[in-house]
Structure 1
């Protein structure tokens, strides 16, 4: 009976219909119909009137058609297992019960064989409340028929199957719904983390580029009269930086951009030079592993942006050693530059370091300034 569970899972995994379950899952519903052999045998040997026997056969065939089509409909998105059932599912459920009831005059106690199918349909195709209602009702009806009606003790095995199936359906549907909820939360978390990553990348890239462009624009304004040639060169740099920023944003959105530490050191030197800030580099980028270098390049970019915007520094020193990157300026220090809280830039650096399994710290420099430190 639990093949409806697999079908719903298949529908969630593939809405395209290319999943084998979506194409051939109905075959499993047909396989389970073998348990209706008891009503079939009862009809073949029924002492009831011919009209009731014909009615019983029609109801049995109707039950089979309704169960298989209802199974396929639920498998293809008709509802159940945490999803709102369609109107057709409710109609099918009611029709299944009606067909089972109509066979009673012809098959007698063998009509209990319909209960497992009705229970499974409610469990996997309707709501959680109706799973409980149908399970309890099936147990009550089965027990009443076995223990209260004379000569029905032969159907004690059917009652045992109904009780066992109630436990199986309860546990399996609960697990399926928990799994679906966990998957949904996982997708939401991944989406949230992806959005935060893109926002952080865009902030780091655009914030840095716009800061440098602003400094170079100020420099161009000062040089226009005194040194037109250098002013033209700075304007060319502004055009290049703008183009790089646009390309970087596009690549960030597509998740394809990676800046090497060597490239970032060169960009940092150019940015600081435009602001008349000296850069001293101790160590080689080769001291860090390729994975560490990617994180270091992002943090160096943001630390440079912060130095340009907030520090008022005259010099910046970058130290690179195995498992360590430090960026230190001789400016006003973190207390005056950032106040009591962390801005987006520092928070972004901290998140990047944490994602790379590195420690991160921002502290006052010696004797003045701000020191950004990343250690693996």
Structure 2
């Protein structure tokens, strides 16, 4: 019976999205104090409080939606982010008559929302608009000099947002390129495998066909035996090509775990999985998928095991069995795993388990 335990995949940013969004709300203490001390008409004060509460709701909900979205920074999906952004601006404007200059405290939130939730162009538009508005207020409004601290905060936050979004975007691009490179490397390996397989098989088939042609008159029985061998070799070659080419399709680590479990179960081997495949990056997961596939094949062919344990963690995959352990000679499968790990910038280790069996481990 197979044991297959997994945790629900969840990004770290999703777990703490609401906490991070709420931490920034401490800066809204300024418009809150402004509303408490406001000398504006009661209607404006009531409208200001309503707008402030709505601003908080829109900001928190919009921030959580953005952090849970699969869309990369600079690529908002659908009208949602734009509606939230427009709502934040409207709330800040409605609150301004009651709080006066402290309405500048809304600008860091609006600017950050544009940086992380909208396009790159709107990142720059929001930064420029916030800096211009704050600078003009400090320079031209009566008592505006008292808000120079807010102008400095806005300027610093503009730098922080620009640097952080740039780094995040470049990191995502590097991850995408790494995945493409890993996929390309794997397909090149498949092409080599297919070439070698077909070349070898066709060479043998050609020799046997020539032999059968020479023997068909003098030794029909021997000729029939050679033809039977040709039929068998052809079937094996077709099966080998199909198996190799099927590996060219991008298979997720989740899918390979399920496929390995099915194959092991058919051989009477139990599979126990600990950890979450989402802990590995896409490029790491691709390499881990190849190594898991080859390790499963080795267990089925050589290990004589009854249990296989797979552990997945950040930057790590290990496969351990309780079989008879490694042989003294390293085969093509192990060399292939080692080469794939090296190509992915990972460390590969294969060793005997203290309690018997074999441990295969790849770490980034």
* Alpha-carbon distance in structure 2 between the residues aligned to 1:82 and 1:133: 13
Q: Which residue of 1 aligns with 2:146?
A: 154
Q: Which residue of 1 aligns with 2:65?
A: 73
- Larger RCO of the pair (alpha carbons < 8 Å, separation 6+): 2
* Alpha-carbon distance in structure 2 between the residues aligned to 1:134 and 1:78: 23
The partner residue of 1:234 within 220, 226, 234 is: 226
Q: Measured at CA, do residues 17 and 24 of structure 1 come closer, stay the same or move farther in structure 2, by a change above 3 Å?
A: farther
Q: Which residue of 1 aligns with 2:122?
A: 130
String of CA shifts for 1:175-206, please: whole Å, max 9, x gaps.
11111111111111221221121122111102
How big is the shift at 1:208? 1.8
Deviates more, 1:26-35 or 1:211-220: 211-220
String of CA shifts for 1:334-371, please: whole Å, max 9, x gaps.
xxxxxxxxxxxxxxxxx99x98xxxxxxxxxxxxxxxx
How big is the shift at 1:47? 0.9
* Alpha-carbon distance in structure 1 between the residues aligned to 2:294 and 2:42: 78
The partner residue of 1:180 within 172, 183, 193 is: 172
String of CA shifts for 1:253-305, please: whole Å, max 9, x gaps.
4465799xxxxxxxxxxxxxxxxxxxxxxxxxxxx983799889xxxxxxxxx
Q: Measured at CA, do residues 80 and 118 of structure 1 come closer, stay the same or move farther in structure 2, by a change above 3 Å?
A: farther
Q: Which residue of 2 aligns with 1:333?
A: none
Q: Which residue of 2 aligns with 1:290?
A: 330
Q: Measured at CA, do residues 294 and 87 of structure 1 come closer, stay the same or move farther in structure 2, by a change above 3 Å?
A: closer
String of CA shifts for 1:295-322, please: whole Å, max 9, x gaps.
89xxxxxxxxxxxxxxxxxxxxxxxxxx
* Alpha-carbon distance in structure 1 between the residues aligned to 2:21 and 2:82: 19
* Alpha-carbon distance in structure 1 between the residues aligned to 2:334 and 2:40: 82
How big is the shift at 1:217? 1.9
For the 8 Å contact 2:74–2:117, the answer to whether it is kept is no
Q: Which residue of 2 aligns with 1:191?
A: 183
Which structure has the bigger radius of gyration? 1
* Alpha-carbon distance in structure 2 between the residues aligned to 1:249 and 1:128: 47
SS of residue matched to 1:21: helix
* Alpha-carbon distance in structure 1 between the residues aligned to 2:226 and 2:73: 64
Q: Measured at CA, do residues 182 and 20 of structure 1 come closer, stay the same or move farther in structure 2, by a change above 3 Å?
A: closer
Q: Which runs of 4+ in 1 moved over 4 A?
A: 255-259, 291-296
1:204 aligns with 2:196: yes
How big is the shift at 1:165? 0.3
1:92 aligns with 2:88: no
How big is the shift at 1:230? 2.1
Q: Which residue of 2 aligns with 1:44?
A: 36
Q: Measured at CA, do residues 80 and 140 of structure 1 come closer, stay the same or move farther in structure 2, by a change above 3 Å?
A: farther
For 1:164-175, what aligned pairs fall within 5 Å after superposition? Answer: 164-175=156-167
The gaps in structure 1 that reach 5 residues or longer are 1-15, 260-287, 297-350, 356-376
* Alpha-carbon distance in structure 2 between the residues aligned to 1:73 and 1:204: 50
For the 8 Å contact 2:76–2:117, the answer to whether it is kept is no
Q: Measured at CA, do residues 244 and 159 of structure 1 come closer, stay the same or move farther in structure 2, by a change above 3 Å?
A: same
For 1:359-370, what aligned pairs fall within 5 Å after superposition? Answer: none
* Alpha-carbon distance in structure 2 between the residues aligned to 1:172 and 1:293: 42
* Alpha-carbon distance in structure 2 between the residues aligned to 1:80 and 1:247: 41
For 1:53-64, what aligned pairs fall within 5 Å after superposition? Answer: 53-64=45-56
How big is the shift at 1:69? 1.2
* Alpha-carbon distance in structure 2 between the residues aligned to 1:257 and 1:78: 31
* TM-score w.r.t. length of structure 1: 0.62
The gaps in structure 2 that reach 5 residues or longer are 1-7, 248-289, 298-327, 344-364
* Alpha-carbon distance in structure 1 between the residues aligned to 2:78 and 2:175: 23
How big is the shift at 1:140? 0.7
SS of residue matched to 2:188: helix
* Alpha-carbon distance in structure 2 between the residues aligned to 1:187 and 1:78: 17
Q: Which residue of 1 aligns with 2:268?
A: none
* Alpha-carbon distance in structure 2 between the residues aligned to 1:214 and 1:294: 31
How big is the shift at 1:233? 2.8
